[in-house]
Structure 1
């Protein structure tokens, strides 16, 4: 058998088609003769030459018909259920061809013979192809990893067929929650209840489960994933239905379960009117356009087809990357939006003035900021320059040139901040609030939200990289929690919030329930099919305890255990269910500028003690958690002074 298969595989396409034609001719003729035998319960008719001629003529005409229907253009190794439609059409028309042949050769046929003939042609010609497909596929399955597909619907069947043609995975069973599908056979595989998954995995030595559930809600997806966590199986999933329909991904493109799948909260459909309000047909500028939030804002803004989109960014590479992506998207989707890349820093007033004036900017989304808490904690002055005075310069420029709308991207770390980054963002909010109190044509607003999944510096990519390296996964505290939201959802909500602004609004996004980072780390390890275990230090790492150690390292500089979104407790609803508005303390611009002038002067002198003193004067409720100054340059400058004083004291004592 193996030699025969090798012989067939070595033949060219024409020879293989000739073999199919010969086999089908025999099967069609044999189907007619078998139908006669079944009806007459005798084989005496075989002595009639006209009956044999009818069988042969019918077979030749039916094969010719199959050729016209395209049956022989199908690769036998890759046939699907669609081929049965072609065979079925040919079998039905073959009934007419049989009648015509019998009339031509003057053969009297019992009325039931043509029907029996059609059924037998369908079963033999169609069945032969599926039998051949199974035989030819068998050698390809050697070396494939056995997998279970969770989801026996249309997506599961498509994935099943895609995997049969691939070289990596061998489906061994289907699992589905739908009771009406259980105990059925789909695509040649039995459908089981999810309760049988553990047994099936052991029975077939399965280590991977593939989720073929592209259209279910995130909450249901989370429930399914959680039910699989403790089975020590690696979980992969197909892309979402929107990605498949939009042509961004194929159903066969498997990926690891994403953090979005673990959130369990379905996004609210955006309001089209709010999305387009400040964008459609207008000139829009995004500062920090190459960052995680800034770049996603640009993608969402482009989809609303502004007149022009100005990308303001100080990183050359980040600007190049987002411009290239947006130009490609615009070309692909037929957008006529002008995309203008501008290199520049928000600290440079003249550069901002020239940009806003040259393009006639109408809406600004200010996403430019240093956001990494420990880094800003170690670079206090630059954090203040960029986040505070950069915001001051861009708001002044917006005010001077009559920009219609200005939206600041803020953070939950601005609420009762324990670090410099959060403090600077709260001061940035105060600046926008103060500008809103001025007699200005610009509507200033702020949007405050928590962590976004997949952003630069986010815990999620760090955990993924650590798991891929075999651990340890580093966690700062067992009880630390964070709010999470996907970047696309956060960006859409920012745009919609800005469209509802009246001036001085502090919008707060509903981030759902806070996520315990320990649980997140544990889930990510388990979904890789690995066993996590907790350790207090590297010396406790042991392969006997599990696969991936989770090591508690202690809170980083300026880091909080819990984040908050509101300073007060009186959020008011808006027309969007995920957006609230808050009433926060604000200052008049003349009052704020007096303090900011002093802050700028001490930043110029690099006088950190005075900087901290001024920060405590402002109504930002700054509550540093770490003692002393963390600034890296200040430490390097002060340590030699301390050594000098210590040496002088020792000399005096001696």
Structure 2
């Protein structure tokens, strides 16, 4: 793995050139001021002999002082303190160098030099910060009312949603003022929408934003496909305006919205896909009036399963979670939304604890079990092999076996694309977990066991999206393992609803695979997030490639060569024809055992017993 290094982006390079030029100009102006415009010949000779030293030392000292590591658009007092320290240290260096070279200038000149240089380097950064701020002074320049601070808004979409946004802004006396609307339908361009002119299509956004001094653009097309939203956002990024969006109607209660629903554009808006058509009757048939238990119910997928199961009216919804904070947060959310209409039970426990599982199943007798609890972090599991086996393999065995013994009608394992031809510990343990499920159908034929395999979900805890956001905010850089590494992505709600649909198709022993669409380059994802954060990739925020992590693959697969894939009734869900040969499974199991290489876990004897 290569270590990340500090890079000079084009914007930083401009700042470096300004600073070193300012250093040379500052010493010249200091002499002009001190000598009232008539510099003695001896002093001019000293300047001719040392000007390049001012240039070199200023760049070197300023670089080491962190002048070019700050996000000056959002800088605070501590950032400007670094300028004070850096310029002061540079002046001391120049005094010492001048003494050594015998090119001495008067001490007052150095004080003037320090003041002028500090003013220059601080002033240019402060000016840049002001241009990115919402100050009343800048509001006047941008066309806002300097007293009220009103924000001039462009609405993209002059249909029903756009009309409602305009009307809401006008009737509620908002700080935001609708100035004009944009629509791709040319027939709307000669009309006004609630008193707001419709002036062009999406390609006119940059020119109209400049002409009308727009501060904010709101995309009000909640029925638009993600591909179209992405195109519009890319056009909007050609302007300095803040870009916000009205969410998809399916995200809004009963299709109604308020201005509070309008939010900043998220990566899900760009990578999300069309809403899924679900067979509600089939899902309801196995959830409504049933006791449903979700292991890992406080996690990203487990929590979303709880949210989507609740409206189906289970007789009891059980969140089984080892992390009490996650469970408590979800409990508060669901209780606030459903009140006493949802019979919610939150239990803290571990899937490794067989006695605890026995107690839970004996007490509540769940009809349906979704098993989402697992260790999921690839690099971490490389260093905790035995623990990965205990949780992902033995934990799955515990929950699946207990479900069968206590008569659960369905058991659905949340699997991963990393279980396909795995090269790492985490993927290998999840593949073995799939084998466990396949074998359970022979022991407990009354329980419909199934696994659902899919790729990465956007925004899940510990995933690349939150990591990139933290890096953009804190480190001023984004690290990607390889320029060409690819991953499948879907949103958490989409994954959860397809898991529920797949559960309706379960007959016993199937592995379902979700259609993940096209794989996405992680580097492209990083660039999108940087732009959504208001920066320019490789200019404001550099992308650094740090090398593949232990166990990481360049791309993921969704099924094995030996697995035949067939369509289901849903066009986004496929079912695999499992490997029937016990000998083939034993051969695969031996390979997986070799990858995991955790002799202390007892995995070898477990696999022999499982596949005998």
**TM-score past 0.5 threshold:** yes
Q: Deviations over 1:594-637 (max 9, x none)?
A: x89x98xxx9xxx846769959999x9xxxxxxxxxxxxxxxxx
Match of 1:457 in 2: 462
CA contact (8 A) 2:148 2:175 kept: no
1:484 to 476, 484, 489: 489
Q: Give the structure-2-normalised TM-score.
A: 0.69
Distance (whole Å) between structure 2 residues aligned to residue 323 and residue 265 of structure 1: 29
Task: Give the alignment of 1:378-397 within 5 angstroms.
Answer: 378-397=383-402
Change (3 A) 1:141 1:203: farther
1:246 matched to 2:254? The reply is yes
Match of 2:426 in 1: 421
CA contact (8 A) 1:244 1:250 kept: no
2:155 to 123, 140, 149: 149
CA contact (8 A) 1:163 1:252 kept: no
CA contact (8 A) 1:232 1:530 kept: no
Task: Give the alignment of 1:369-448 within 5 angstroms.
Answer: 369-448=374-453
1:494 to 490, 496, 499: 499
SS in 2 for 1:416: coil
Change (3 A) 1:170 1:470: farther
Distance (whole Å) between structure 2 residues aligned to residue 562 and residue 160 of structure 1: 45
Change (3 A) 1:248 1:559: farther
Distance (whole Å) between structure 1 residues aligned to residue 605 and residue 565 of structure 2: 26
Q: Deviations over 1:119-156 (max 9, x none)?
A: xxxxxxxxxxxxxxxxxxx9687533333221122322
Say which one has the larger Rg. Answer: 1
CA contact (8 A) 1:140 1:167 kept: no
1:293 to 279, 283, 301: 301
Task: Give the alignment of 1:166-205 within 5 angstroms.
Answer: 168-193=175-200, 194-205=202-213
- Structure 1 position 457, deviation (Å): 1.2
Distance (whole Å) between structure 2 residues aligned to residue 469 and residue 145 of structure 1: 28
CA contact (8 A) 1:141 1:170 kept: no
Distance (whole Å) between structure 2 residues aligned to residue 526 and residue 419 of structure 1: 33
Distance (whole Å) between structure 2 residues aligned to residue 140 and residue 155 of structure 1: 30
- Structure 1 position 387, deviation (Å): 0.6
Match of 2:579 in 1: 585
Change (3 A) 1:395 1:146: same
Change (3 A) 1:168 1:474: farther
- Structure 1 position 249, deviation (Å): 5.2
Q: Deviations over 1:17-70 (max 9, x none)?
A: xxxxxxxxxxxxxxxxxxxxxxxxxxxxxxxxxxxxxxxxxxxxxxxxxxxxxx
- Structure 1 position 351, deviation (Å): 1.1
Match of 2:273 in 1: 265
Match of 2:478 in 1: 473
Distance (whole Å) between structure 2 residues aligned to residue 156 and residue 422 of structure 1: 46
SS in 2 for 1:556: coil
SS in 2 for 1:286: strand
Structure 1: state its 5+ residue gaps. Answer: 1-137, 534-545, 621-654
**What value does the CA root-mean-square deviation take over the aligned residues?**
3.2
CA contact (8 A) 1:505 1:582 kept: yes
Change (3 A) 1:615 1:175: farther
- Structure 1 position 556, deviation (Å): 1.9
1:256 matched to 2:276? The reply is no
Distance (whole Å) between structure 2 residues aligned to residue 587 and residue 524 of structure 1: 46
Distance (whole Å) between structure 1 residues aligned to residue 581 and residue 391 of structure 2: 21
2:516 to 505, 508, 511: 511
- Structure 1 position 450, deviation (Å): 0.6
Match of 1:158 in 2: 164
Structure 2: state its 5+ residue gaps. Answer: 1-143
SS in 2 for 1:571: strand
Match of 2:115 in 1: none
- Structure 1 position 389, deviation (Å): 0.5
1:341 matched to 2:346? The reply is yes
1:571 to 565, 571, 575: 565
- Structure 1 position 253, deviation (Å): 3.4
Distance (whole Å) between structure 1 residues aligned to residue 257 and residue 474 of structure 2: 27
Task: Give the alignment of 1:71-86 within 5 angstroms.
Answer: none
Match of 2:243 in 1: 235
SS in 2 for 1:192: coil
Distance (whole Å) between structure 2 residues aligned to residue 301 and residue 496 of structure 1: 11
Change (3 A) 1:467 1:612: farther
Shift >4 Å, 4+ stretches:
138-142, 164-168, 229-233, 586-589, 609-618
Change (3 A) 1:167 1:549: farther
- Structure 1 position 207, deviation (Å): 4.9
SS in 1 for 2:560: coil
SS in 2 for 1:406: strand
